[in-house]
Amino acid sequence: MVSKLIIRLFIPFGFTLLSYSATSFAQQNEKYFLIKAGQMYDSEQNEFYKNKQLLIRGNSIVKVGDRLDVPSGTIILDYSEDTVTPGLIDAHSHIAFQQGPNDNLANDGILNSPETRVLRAVGFAKSYLNAGFTCIRDLGNSEQYLDIELKNAIERGDFSGPRMLVSGPIISAMDGQIYGVPIKEFEKYSAKEYSMVSGADEATKAVKEHIARGVDVIKITAIGNRLVLTLEEIKAIVKAAHSERVKVTAHCDRDWAVHAAIEAGVDGLEHGYGFTKSTLETMAKREIYLVATDGSPDLQITYLKTQKMPYDEQQIRKNFKPLQDRLKAAHNAGVMIVAGSDAYININMPRGEMAKHTISGYFDAGLSASDALRTATYNASIALGMQDQIGVLKERAKADIAVFKGNMQKDFKKSLFEVKMVMKNGLIEFQQK
């Protein structure tokens, strides 16, 4: 009896010692990698540097320098002819959603089961990794918290995918963004995809529910199909979210509808089509970031080619000019631009490849190679609340790294689409054979 009592009393201590021993053993057996970079993009300094080296241990960057001493057994990854960057971040994804070119937003929920949408997302997740994205922020259109299920599955190791930060269902006024369905079916399909609220109390309750379920960010519609969230409703959302240290970002695709969201204190704005110079200046003053989901002329041309549809390349590029002018105006005003693809249209292109066209589109708009790349690394890490952890190549940052063929500074668009290696959390997820 005495011995059993003693054993019971010391079981907690035994677990503590076992846990410590296992941790020590793991640290002793963590792999070391040395990455040799011909060009390295430092997103904090927004500069490319030549002939740098990165030492990786386990899931973290241990050191960045010129000629590093390494432990015996270190695995050497020689990319001395290529460009090493932080893993890319897509801050506006919809991984559980897909729409045909002529469909409306309701079709996916009508035609496909939640199981189909989750299984399809497995392929999208892998394509993001293969394209160089080690993190995505998923912003709704994933029914009631399918995004959390996907995030948890990736974290468990059920399948490979980027880090995920998720919003759960978008909080909107009473119309959501669903259109083109019979009136009697509207509630059914809108309620699957959105949290529709009326009044500050309902708005506050929706935020609390989302946070209790495990979301990382709150996404709202400043305007849906026709209805806007009121200033009081958005203020209630921001107050409830910020009290739990959760950020709020707002869908808004027209200037007149954005001012309530800005006054209410949202952290970011999605899309921003047609935003005026004065709006952009206010955003810069209040440190509100812009996720410019612009795509690129090249993406539209590629789609039309695959569909064997006629097109006028000169006209397409002309049509993009207002978006590009708005992007340059935002950049010149000091607005922090964050890369977000809003990729969900099925154009027979891997989702990750499609997402990169947003970054290349920024370059087409006149941003330098370094500025365009910064939108998908350093800037995005700030918007996601993960500064110093991802989107950077520095000591103690997570080992989320992408390698692109050749000199990205000199041949940005070509290099961006030629991935040689992707590492997430210290594990090689993709490597060109």
CATH code, domain carrying 412: 2.30.40.10
One domain for residues 93 and 75: no
Percent of the chain with pLDDT strictly greater than 90: 83
> At residue 23, does pLDDT exceed 90?
no
Residue 186 near residue 210, CB atoms below 8 Å: no
Q: pLDDT digit string (tens) for 54-89?
A: 999 999 999 999 999 999 999 999 999 999 999 999
pLDDT at 257: 96
* Res. 350 pLDDT band, cuts 50 70 90: very high
CATH no. for residue 280?
3.20.20.140
How high does pLDDT run on average in the chain? 92
Q: Are residues 336 and 427 in the same domain?
A: no
* Residue 25 pLDDT greater than 80, yes or no: no
pLDDT band at 276 (very low <50, low <70, confident <90, very high): very high
Residue 328 lies in a domain: yes
Domain that holds residue 39: 31-86+396-431
Number of domains observed in the structure of the chain: 2
3-class state of residue 351 by DSSP: helix
Beta strands 75-86 and 401-404 are antiparallel
Run of H or E including 15: helix 2-28
Pairing of strands 401-404, 337-339: unpaired
pLDDT tens-digit map of 113-147: 999 999 999 999 999 999 999 999 999 999 999 99
Mean pLDDT of the 184-189 span: 83
Distance, in Å, from the CA atom of 300 to the CA atom of 98, rounded to the nearest integer, reads: 17
The verdict on 77 and 104 lying in the same domain is no
Mean pLDDT (whole number) for 299-327? 92
Residues 81 and 92 in one domain: no
Average pLDDT of the residues in 28-52: 93
Q: What is the pLDDT of residues 155-182, one digit of tens each?
A: 999 999 999 999 999 999 998 888 778 8
**134 lies in a domain?**
yes
Strand 427-431: give its sheet, edge to edge.
60-65, 47-57, 32-42, 75-86, 401-404, 419-424, 427-431
pLDDT at 191 exceeding the cut of 80: yes
Same domain, 57 and 172: no
Q: Does 243 reside within a domain?
A: yes
Residue with tokens 């001395």: 80
The Cα 196–Cα 120 span in angstroms is 26
Q: Is residue 20 part of a domain?
A: no
Q: pLDDT value at position 107?
A: 84
Q: Is 341 a member of any domain?
A: yes
Q: Is residue 2's pLDDT more than 50?
A: no
User: Could you tell me if residue 388 is inside a domain?
Assistant: no
pLDDT at position 169 is 97
pLDDT given for residue 27 in this prediction: 46
| Residues 365 and 270 grouped into a single domain | yes
C-alpha to C-alpha distance for 94 and 378, rounded to whole angstroms: 21
Residues 54 and 103 in one domain: no
pLDDT mean over 313-333: 96
Domain annotation covers residue 408: yes
- Asked if residue 252 and residue 191 are part of one domain, the reply reads yes
The model's pLDDT over 43-61, given as tens digits with 9 standing for 90+, comes to 999 999 999 999 999 999 9
273: closest CA among 289, 258, 288? Answer: 258
Question: What's the CA gap between 72 and 324, in Å, rounded?
Answer: 50
Stretch among 16-20, 137-141, 360-364 having the lowest mean pLDDT: 16-20
Whether 96 and 77 map to the same domain: the answer is: no
- The span from the CA of 420 to the CA of 82, in Å, is 9
pLDDT band with cut points at 50, 70 and 90 for residue 29 = low
| 261 and 156 within one domain | yes
Q: Is 320 left (phi over 0), alpha (psi -120 to 50) or beta?
A: alpha
Claim to verify: residue 55 and residue 152 sit in the same structural domain: no
Q: Are residues 332 and 183 in the same domain?
A: yes
